[in-house]
Structure 1
Amino acid sequence: MPQIGKPPGDESLIRHGCDAADCPPGSRPWVLAAAIVGSSMAFIDGTVVNVALPAIQADLQASAFQAQWVVESYALFLAALLLVGGSLGDHFGRRRIFALGVALFALASAACALAGDVQQLILARAVQGVGAALLVPGSLALISAAYPEKERGRAIGTWSGASGITAAIGPVLGGFLVDHYSWIWAFLVNLPMAAVVLWICWRHVPESRGGAATGEGLDLWGAALATLALGGIVYAFIEAPTQGWQAPAVRAAWLGGIAASVGFVAVELRVRSPMLPLSLLRIGNFGGANLLTLLLYAALGGGLFFFPLNLIQVQGYSATAAGAALLPFILIMFALSGWAGQLVDRFGPRLPLVVGPGIAAAGFALFALPGVGAGYWTSFFPAVVVLGFGMTVTVAPLTTTVMNAVGPDLAGIASGVNNAVSRAAAVLAIAVFGVVMSAAFDARLELGLREIGAAPESVAFLQEQRSRLAGAALPAGVDAAAAAALRHAIDAAFVSGFRQVMLLCAGLALLSALSAWLLIGRARANDRHTSHGR
């Protein structure tokens, strides 16, 4: 699952996003309700779709790489446009942009449910991502604008608690809807929630702005180039296993993505109000924390994308059971978040940011152990618990380190950048890990078919089906014994790829721990760096 719960920096975005506006006290509970329900739409959608992917793949006859696009098209636009989405609210009205995002998200959700083929679904998911990029930062800014600083902490706690509950029930709800109704309900569930949010916005949420009320300062070129850069690189990695690296479209996407990345850096160095102030990366703790975020959240988002597919398509779990499989992860983070928040005060930032990713690496390694037919409690549960504990030790100190690396005047920008880095890391990792999975799957499937002495007709048929990975269909007319042998070969091939991916995730987590050891200082949480306000 590309994004489990809240990404780093969300609470900091609320705390530092803007100054409180003149909001009547009677409207504040309504504002909080709108923010909770609105952001819950994005949280739920970011997790339940992975649980629904096997059903979507089977119903729409999609390849595994098209299934990747169902997730990536949404995550790509959310990651690329998240920072500019917040700026739009400051310039044109937070309530207006938030409501526009909710409406766009709802319309795109309806289009997802009505999609007749996988291409239509991918397009609708891209529009959903644009809507999410408007509503996610908008929900946070509404709370900051409505509550004065002395009351903002309680609002943060309420929002954070509700988000934790959403993160827990979202995948289970999605799995239940898939098992008992249809995958389309994973999208239709957004419509009544959007209707409630829009009604609250219309009746009870006051308008607010931050800074200039014009378009001056919006980094639209930066947003466009970030989208093109991510999109080009992601397209190349997703399509290369089927088209080949020398295919004109793949080469054009790869070169275009690199060119857009260079252009993005050039624009951010010159534009007056960049969406990514590159000067911040020269601050030691901030640069180190974001490198850690890039590596660790690439492992988390990329690796856990394949976890529900393994559980449902290989291990035979129901969608509901697959959705519940990560509940221990979420509950550990929720229960221990307060304790983890004190680690920087006691030990400084360096130690927890080395130990936490190290524990997470052990969790990823444990995911590589189970084979076909593995039981949850003895095989996957230990991996989920260890990974959850490792991320718990990491996330709160990571957010604190990011905030303490800069002055209060730059805290909102810093937390927003770190939030966007975590999302972009997952987008890139899902695409790259797809190449690893495809190569390992193809090699192991070829070996497995030779080992069972599969008929040439079956081998030729599965060569055509290999792009569907574990969702591959079996050839018609084979007897039960041959069908069982072929299915086991397919499942073993997917497990082989899954193991490669999880070991790669463990390596990335270890690299993130190394980056913390080398780049993050030993300063205590209440220390202030000389770079403040820079």
Structure 2
Amino acid sequence: MTSAVSRSPMSPPCVAAGVQAAADSRCLASDRRSILVLTVLGSSMAFMDGSVVNVALPTLQASFRATSSHILWVAQAYSLLGSALLLLCGALGDRFGRTRMYLLGVAVFALASIGCAASLNLTELILTRAIQGFGAALLIPQALAILSDTYPEGERAEAIGAWSAWTSVSIAIGPIVGGWLIQVSSWRAIFLLNIPLTVWIMWLAPKLRRATAARSAAAPAPLDYRGAALNILGFAAIVFALSFVPQLGWKDPRIGLSLFAGLVLLIVFVLSQRSSKNPLVPLSLFRSSAFSGANALTFLAYGALGGAFYIVPYFLIGARHLLPSSAGAAFLPMIAIMFAFSGRVGTIAAKVGEVKFMVAGSALTAGGFALLGLVSKEAHYSYGFLPGVLVLGVGITLTVAPLTSFLMSSIAASRRGVASAVNNSVSRLGGLISVSIVAVAVSHTFNHEFGRQMQSSGLPVEMQRILVHSEGLMLAIPIPQQFGSSPALRAEEMVESSFVTAYRHVMFGCALTTLVGTLVILTTVRKSENALGVAETEGRL
């Protein structure tokens, strides 16, 4: 006799993860595989759009004749809305149904992608990128929560490993695809790439719906709109300040006021979560040392990756004179490593211990960044970029899947939606802040190094004046040709050398940031193990 299975928004899409598996004909292995493919496609689409635009930024800057501060918002608008709304959207999935929110997010993302491709000016592009960020915020937390609930505990690590492998590859492959599309078509094509993926997702959607039952008739808990508003405004104020520092300078009162307002709003947000009956972020999640440590490593490691992936296209295209497609292809060795081993790493880590892989992986990732900085003066790809990319690929592969599995396993099933949203929000916030800081650091280091070299350059005084006036453009500085070929060549060398110095400093900073994350996860996990040991001792007594 088949018993009826009551379902709620928190019920897994395929109850094969639970004890009713044998009684529910919808819980087939083929359904689970389809759900895995569907969640990978949506997440990959959202993650790839965060990286595919980076390689297009130099082209977009030339197309719209924009300053570096303004063009930065093409990337930041997407990340800002995606980060700020992840928490709210994770809660929406937990309370109104993850499948519904996931498919709504895919639809919003696809429509916004069409809007991006049709943009006639920079303002339209930034606005539609922000809407894309909203779509990504809707679908990303639901994807991982759906996947975690779909697979039983014995198969979950392998499934999350596969999800991590494909989504990590999508982030890395974004610059390759973007560079190739820009070269053979135009920058608009990088956004239309999302449409075939959306069609594929919608084709698989009936299996996801078939594996989910109706929501519970119980009224969902009210949402924390006050917390959502404080969260969004706080992030926006901080990102605005950091993004416009290169243009306005630290002494501009708008920068100081925005930073202060952002910090105050985020402090008020945290305090509001303590008193809220239905908090956007249950602060009790962070009582777990494992959850807190995993999120700290996520923030630092993904922040380092975000900052590095932002500056690398400028380095390869502007300083090493590669075509956009060649600049993207420079990451192929890293992608090959991640694709080949991420799934296996997730399975092995679940058996021998995820923390060991996380520590080794984050340490190697830091080593990869450091190596990219050390060999940055080498012009040849085989010596000046490949070694760092290979080490980075191994480090990321050893880190991502175990980190994701470790974090999701540390949280009860009923909170995985919001936990996934918190973790994804943390990763995106890390990248968002990192890109803003990197933009400031690159501008400052470039200007300082360029000014230092200018003093001993021997260039004509009038030529120096023209170059200094345009130094904010960095690699896009127009080199005056009227003073002769020799001064022009010297000026080009100075521009490239100054940018390489800034790039090297950024890589060292990324290495240090990731290494701090390694120390944090070691410390927090040790505290968690000590607390568990004390509890077990007290229980025996």
TM-score in terms of structure 2 length:
0.84
* Alignment partner, residue 369 of structure 2: 364
CA contact (8 A) 2:361 2:398 kept: yes
* Alignment partner, residue 4 of structure 2: none
Aligned partner letter, 1:85: C
CA contact (8 A) 2:161 2:402 kept: no
* Alignment partner, residue 20 of structure 1: 14
- Which deviations, in whole Å up to 9, do the C-alpha atoms of 1:221-267 show, x marking residues without a partner? 32222222221111111111211223233233212211211121012
* Alignment partner, residue 54 of structure 1: 58
Aligned residues: 513
CA 1:160/1:294 → structure 2, altered by over 3 Å: closer, same or farther? Answer: closer
**Where do 1:24-103 residues align within 5 Å?**
24=26, 28=31, 34-103=38-107
Say which is worse superposed, 262-271 or 412-421, in terms of deviation: 412-421
CA 1:462/1:110 → structure 2, altered by over 3 Å: closer, same or farther? Answer: farther
Partners in 2 of 1:493 and 1:416 — Cα distance?
A: 40
Partner of 1:368, secondary structure, is: helix
**Where do 1:276-295 residues align within 5 Å?**
276-295=281-300
Partners in 2 of 1:369 and 1:280 — Cα distance?
A: 40
Which residue, out of 84, 109, 112, partners 1:108?
112
- Which deviations, in whole Å up to 9, do the C-alpha atoms of 1:350-409 show, x marking residues without a partner? x44443322222211111123456111112111111122223333334334434544555
- Which deviations, in whole Å up to 9, do the C-alpha atoms of 1:118-177 show, x marking residues without a partner? 333222211110111112234445556777889878866765565466445433221110
CA 1:168/1:439 → structure 2, altered by over 3 Å: closer, same or farther? Answer: closer
Q: Percent identity at matched positions?
A: 37
* Alignment partner, residue 267 of structure 1: 272
- Which deviations, in whole Å up to 9, do the C-alpha atoms of 1:488-524 show, x marking residues without a partner? 1111111111111111112112212222333222878
1:186 matches 2:190: yes
CA 1:530/1:47 → structure 2, altered by over 3 Å: closer, same or farther? Answer: farther
* Alignment partner, residue 18 of structure 2: none
CA contact (8 A) 2:368 2:388 kept: yes
CA 1:395/1:225 → structure 2, altered by over 3 Å: closer, same or farther? Answer: same
Partners in 2 of 1:210 and 1:434 — Cα distance?
A: 46
Aligned partner letter, 1:20: C
Partners in 1 of 2:513 and 2:206 — Cα distance?
A: 46
Aligned partner letter, 1:395: V
Which residue, out of 98, 113, 130, partners 1:126?
130
1:450 matches 2:455: yes
CA 1:25/1:478 → structure 2, altered by over 3 Å: closer, same or farther? Answer: farther
Q: Which runs of 5+ in 1 are unaligned?
A: 1-15
Pairwise CA distance, 1:429: 0.9
Q: CA RMSD in A?
A: 3.3
* Alignment partner, residue 11 of structure 1: none
CA 1:443/1:73 → structure 2, altered by over 3 Å: closer, same or farther? Answer: same
1:399 matches 2:399: no
CA 1:369/1:156 → structure 2, altered by over 3 Å: closer, same or farther? Answer: closer
Partners in 2 of 1:353 and 1:156 — Cα distance?
A: 15
Aligned partner letter, 2:464: V
CA 1:310/1:205 → structure 2, altered by over 3 Å: closer, same or farther? Answer: same
1:439 matches 2:448: no
CA 1:298/1:210 → structure 2, altered by over 3 Å: closer, same or farther? Answer: farther
Say which is worse superposed, 374-383 or 479-488, in terms of deviation: 479-488
Partners in 2 of 1:143 and 1:289 — Cα distance?
A: 19
CA contact (8 A) 1:284 1:519 kept: yes
- Which deviations, in whole Å up to 9, do the C-alpha atoms of 1:172-223 show, x marking residues without a partner? 2211101111111111222343345446548984565666765534233322
TM-score in terms of structure 1 length:
0.85
Pairwise CA distance, 1:424: 1.1
- Which deviations, in whole Å up to 9, do the C-alpha atoms of 1:261-296 show, x marking residues without a partner? 112101211222323222222322322222222222
**Where do 1:302-451 residues align within 5 Å?**
302-337=307-342, 338-339=344-345, 341-343=347-349, 345-346=351-352, 349=355, 351-371=356-376, 374-407=379-412, 409-451=414-456
CA contact (8 A) 2:357 2:398 kept: yes
Aligned partner letter, 1:235: F
* Alignment partner, residue 229 of structure 1: 234
Partners in 2 of 1:314 and 1:422 — Cα distance?
A: 29
Aligned partner letter, 2:179: G
CA contact (8 A) 1:69 1:122 kept: yes
Partners in 2 of 1:159 and 1:63 — Cα distance?
A: 37
Partners in 1 of 2:394 and 2:114 — Cα distance?
A: 37
Q: Which runs of 5+ in 2 are unaligned?
A: 1-9, 16-23, 537-541
